[in-house]
Structure 1
Amino acid sequence: MCGRYTVITPGPSLEQRFDASFSDAAPTANYNVAPSQRMPIITNLAPHDIQAVQWGLIPAWVKDLKQAPKPINARAETLPEKPSFRQLLQRRRCLVLADSFYEWQQTARGKIPHRILREDEQPFAFAGLWDEWADRSTGEVIPTYTIITTDPNELMARLHNRMPVILPDRAAELAWLSEDATAAEHQALLRPLPDGLLREYAVTTLVNSPAHNDPSVLEPAAAA
């Protein structure tokens, strides 16, 4: 799964990298993104806008917001099988902007957090789905998103049995947002990132708490 990540790349660099502009002021660096926070995404309906949207999907059909599960991840393999996800795969795809993510490895010493980033340390995009939920009593519209996960590549298999879908290059990002591609073509993009593009290292348990949101969470853990 993907339950924490980082967005520490400066706003202007994100705009240049993704050929898009922030709709509002660029957010401050976030070293420990957690569910329910509003983070930058680019939707298929506004491919040149970077919008701050809440992490944790609330589908449009939800009636009781308090009881809604708000999934932060969606399994790539089952998207076509679930009506709500199948419709979003066809209508509402997004790029979730990031520059690293965290995963917890189960060991005899307990769960050890690791930071995973590209070898070139450049920002990248998770494949995501988004939707808008409207409060019928107030008219408030709440956009939300979820990150799609898939089987792990060789590096991630050492840490966990799932990994987020990281689109490997600009062509794949544009194809994911494209309104001209078929559902099958979109589904074909949801595969593990090829080996050799990522690196990882263990970090301290500071990252376990979202309250720790500063450069200290990026520091390598002391060798055991």
Structure 2
Amino acid sequence: MCNLYSNTTAQEAMRQLFKVAPGNDLLGNAEPLTAIWPKYQGHVVRLNPDGVNELVSLSWGFRTTNTSKKTGKTLQPSAWNNARDDKLLTSGLWKGSFQERRCLIPATSFCEAKGRNPATYHWFGLTGDEPRPAFAFAGLWTVSHFEGPDGKEECACYTMITTRSNELVKPIHPDRMPAMLAPKDYAQWMNGTASEAHELLRPYPADAMQVLKSGETEKSDAV
């Protein structure tokens, strides 16, 4: 389960990597994001109504109504920041978005924790000529409608898909890791059928990844 990642890719580099025309870049003056948490804003590439890639800022985590079991009072909404690849075709929370609203989540690293009291935090990224090569997670987006403490609310948001861990991540998180996509697969993920998209959800090759920083006992920004 991933609860923290970074995206420090320059805005122009994102446009080039994800084939976004300047007029479809809706980020404004985007700053590097060294630590993106659930319910925070992140950069997302999605299809606009004309079927063309656009860059937008959305909130991380599909929202649902959250009610106290003890008092029945409506609390702050739950944020579902990870979607399992084996639940996409059956879960009511994910199914519609997987079929109709897939997206790419630009990133340069992600963090996984191991143990408790204290946990140790490990940052992962790609190998390459650059210090922090850009890549993309497979994602979904939606506009969540829910009840909040002050009544009905809505939120434009996204979630990150997880798959089985590869050999690099497995010692830290033995079960799951974010589903990462190679550039050659971006178009299939965005424009393919649900079946074609699902074929891409597999562990990223471990030999193409590296541990960027590890051993921290407190959550911190990526290096």
Structure 2: segments with no counterpart, 5+ residues: 68-73
Secondary structure, counterpart of 1:157 in structure 2: coil
Deviation at 1:195, TM superposition (A): 2.4
Q: Which residue of 1 aligns with 2:127?
A: 119
Q: Which residue of 2 aligns with 1:156?
A: 169
> Identity over aligned residues, as a percent?
27
Secondary structure, counterpart of 1:193 in structure 2: coil
Structure 1: segments with no counterpart, 5+ residues: 219-224
Deviation at 1:116, TM superposition (A): 0.3
- Cα distance in 1, alignment partners of residues 94 and 102 from structure 2: 10
Q: 2:193 aligns with which of 177, 182, 186?
A: 182
Q: Which has the higher strand share?
A: 2
TM-score, with length taken from structure 1: 0.81
TM-score, with length taken from structure 2: 0.81
Q: Which residue of 2 aligns with 1:83?
A: 92
Pairing 1:1-224 to 2, within 5 Å after superposition? 1-20=1-20, 21=22, 22-45=25-48, 47-58=52-63, 66=75, 68-106=77-115, 110-120=118-128, 121-133=132-144, 142-160=155-173, 161-167=175-181, 169-178=182-191, 181-200=192-211, 201-202=213-214, 204-206=216-218, 208=219, 217-218=222-223
Q: Which has the higher helix share?
A: 1
1:154-174 C-alpha deviation (Å, 9 max, x unpaired): 10111102100000x222111
Deviation at 1:133, TM superposition (A): 3.0
Which 4+ residue blocks in structure 1 deviate beyond 2 angstroms? 44-48, 62-69, 133-142, 203-206
- Cα distance in 2, alignment partners of residues 7 and 163 from structure 1: 17
2:177 is matched by which residue type in structure 1? Answer: M
- Cα distance in 2, alignment partners of residues 23 and 80 from structure 1: 30
RMSD: 2.7
Whether the 8 Å CA contact 1:134–1:141 is kept in 2: the answer is yes
- Cα distance in 1, alignment partners of residues 124 and 52 from structure 2: 26
Secondary structure, counterpart of 1:131 in structure 2: strand
Whether the 8 Å CA contact 2:66–2:78 is kept in 1: the answer is no
